[in-house]
Every structure is written in C-alpha cells, then in structure tokens.
A and B are shown apart, each in its own frame.
Chain A
Amino acid sequence: MAKVIVVTSGKGGVGKTTTTAALGAALAQHGQRVVVVDFDVGLRNLDLVMGAERRVVYDLTYVAEGKVRLPQALIRDKRIETLFLLAASQTRDKDALTDEGVERVIGELRSSFDWIVCDSPAGIERGATLAMRYADLAVVVTNPEVSSVRDSDRIIGLLDAKTEKASRGERMEKHLLLTRYDPIRAGRGDMLGIEDVLDILSIPLLAVIPESEEVLRASNIGSPVTISSPKSAPARAYDEAAQRLMGVDVPISIPNGRSGLLTRLFGRRAA
C-alpha cells in the first residue's frame, strides 16, 4: 500500500528539499516506486536539487486543476527508473492550488507509487498545511539550533491538528531527522546534542545527518546525495532512514566525529 510522507520543518533552510531528494532517491534505489512532489509554489527548488530543472513542462497546479493528466506532468529520473518528480508551479498564484485538487492528485499517485514524498514549503501557512494534510507520516527536519527546534515543535503541533489523519482521530506518525549535526561541536557543548533535541521534541529519531560538504556538492551538481556520493556519511544515513521507513530493522548511525567513523547505536529506534 502506498505511503504518503511529508517532509516538513517550519523553519526554512534546514534541509527539507535536500532530505526529500535524498530520501526519495534512497527509497527508489531499493526498488521502490517513488514520486517526490514539490509543494513550494512560487519558490520551487526540488527540480533543481534533483537536476531536472530543464525538463519541467507541467506541474502540480496544472494537474490539480485538471488541465493536464498526471502522466504528462510526471518527470522520470534519468538515473533511477522508479523515481519520479512532480514539480511545483513557479509562476502561478499560490491559491490556485486547492484542497480538493491536491486530494485528487495524491489519491491518483497512491494507485501508481509505493511512496509519495511531499516537500513542504517553510512556514505554517496554507502551502505547508496543504503539503501535510493527506500525509500518512511526517519527517520533521530539524537542525540542532534553537530557532529550528522551536519551529519544529510548532509544526509537530500542526501535524496533530491540521492533517486528515488527525481529524479522523488517528495518531499522526512523526519522525525526527536531525540535519547538519556536528558531533565535535556537540561534544564540546557548543551545539545541542541529539539527546537534547529528542528530549525537547519527544518524537522518535529516524536519522542523524552529519554536517558534510557532500550535501552541498550534491545540490551543486543536481543529484541527490545518495546517488552522487553513496558511500559518504550523509548518504549512508539517508539510506538507513529509507530502509527504516521500509520496515527494515537497521540501527541508527550516530556520527561520533572522533575518527569520522560511525558508531552503531542500538538503543534508539524509529517507532
């Protein structure tokens, strides 16, 4: 059965789009049929990070309005056969995207994909609530930094209030994905630690992505980091996150920074 993931954070610039691309690609690399959907109308960037910016003809708004059929707007990835992109509109008005339109598109996507990964815009306005509304589970992207943690807390509140799942009285599944983590600075006490963030936000940990130059390099060349540099620490962390979402019991790698090696930590598991 198809699963709809929303990648969200509240705060901008914490790595939602990078995470959507990397997680989507990692799932597809395991043979899953995946579509990554950009909900950031007017400020689309998932196409750029995926390296498909010159191939966008139709977008989510066109499909939601019924102006084109879904297959016309889906862009197949050139590297992984089972990976697709549905871009956001760069020129249309934000309000052109309606609740009903999005619900219908998500419903259609459910019948042809295993995973629908929705890249939420920053903020808590309509675009963000629309991206999360029909999700089955949420990946909350957080930096170990006060403003990001605060905004994530706010988003967690919205996930429990504004999603279809929540309104049906069901529990919204939420996972923390900590990005730009620097184990050396955390070890010195100059950066919030993993435990600190987990204690404050009280949602299960999905992955810790270490601060790495590979992440910027990947977006520079328009490739998800799991494709451009699959052996790098961030790519491995994203790959493990993908496996965990697929139900494979993989321990969470915690960067320790001492030797650049990763310590296996068996204590924490995704719910």
Chain B
Amino acid sequence: MNWFSALARRKSASVARERLQILLTHERVAGGHSDLIPLLREEVVAVVARHVAVDPEKVNVRIERGKAVSLLEIDIEIPSASGSAHATKRGSRSGEMAVESIRFSS
C-alpha cells in the first residue's frame, strides 16, 4: 500500500492545478470584473437605443478570458419588423445586430 499512497500524494499538486484552472475560468467571467459586464450592458444598450428600439432583455454581453487575449462578445437582438431596425442591422442572422467581437489583452 506504500507505493499506492505515495502515488496518490504525488498527484496533489496537479490536482490543485486542475481544480484552479476550472474554478478560475468560471470566476474570471463572473467575479473578476464583477461590475464590468453589467456596466457594458447598460452603456451599450443606452447607445444603441438612441437609434434603434432595443429590448434590454435581448442583450447578451459575454467575456471569455483566455491566456493571451480575451474575447468580448456583445449580441443585441433588434426587432426586424420596423424599417429603422433594418437600416442599422449588421448581423448575419436576421433581426439581430452582432457587434463585432472585440479582442483585448488580459
């Protein structure tokens, strides 16, 4: 049993590393900049709403943090019926304006 417990012990650092990597991937999105996502959402909605009717519920702001660069994704859904919405529509999917993903270094 000695070799077995020795082996189990040897692994603790890599277990720690794995647990941290999984945990921090989540926390960096949610907690790292706790007020960044709501702030971005609020400000982006305000700017777009000046020109187009926007449902604040249909705005999706996401940050994916990578090692070298992080990805900021802003998806804004715009009702497709009105003409003004069509005029500003830039997204690939109909009725949706996809603001280009912005890369920034983390």
Residues of A within 8 A of B (CB): 145-146, 149-150, 153-154, 156-157, 160-161, 171, 186, 188-193, 196, 199-200, 202
CB neighbours (8 Å) of B93 from chain A are: none
Contact B31 A154 (CB under 8 A): yes
Given contacts A149-B20, A150-B20, A202-B106, contact A189 B10 (CB under 8 A): yes
Contact A189 B13 (CB under 8 A): yes
B81 at interface (Cβ–Cβ under 8 A)? no
Give the residue of B17, B32, B105 whose beta carbon is less than 8 angstroms from that of A153: B32
Given contacts A146-B19, A192-B17, contact A161 B12 (CB under 8 A): no
Give the residue of B11, B21, B31 whose beta carbon is less than 8 angstroms from that of A200: B21
B99 at interface (Cβ–Cβ under 8 A)? no
A154 to B31, CA, bound (A): 8
B67 at interface (Cβ–Cβ under 8 A)? yes
Contact A192 B32 (CB under 8 A): no
Chain B contact residues (Cβ within 8 angstroms of A): what range?
20 to 34
CB neighbours (8 Å) of A193 from chain B are: 13
CB neighbours (8 Å) of A154 from chain B are: 27, 31-32
A146 to B24, CA, bound (A): 11
A190 to B10, CA, bound (A): 6
Give the residue of B23, B24, B33, B68 whose beta carbon is less than 8 angstroms from that of A161: B33
CB neighbours (8 Å) of A160 from chain B are: 33, 106
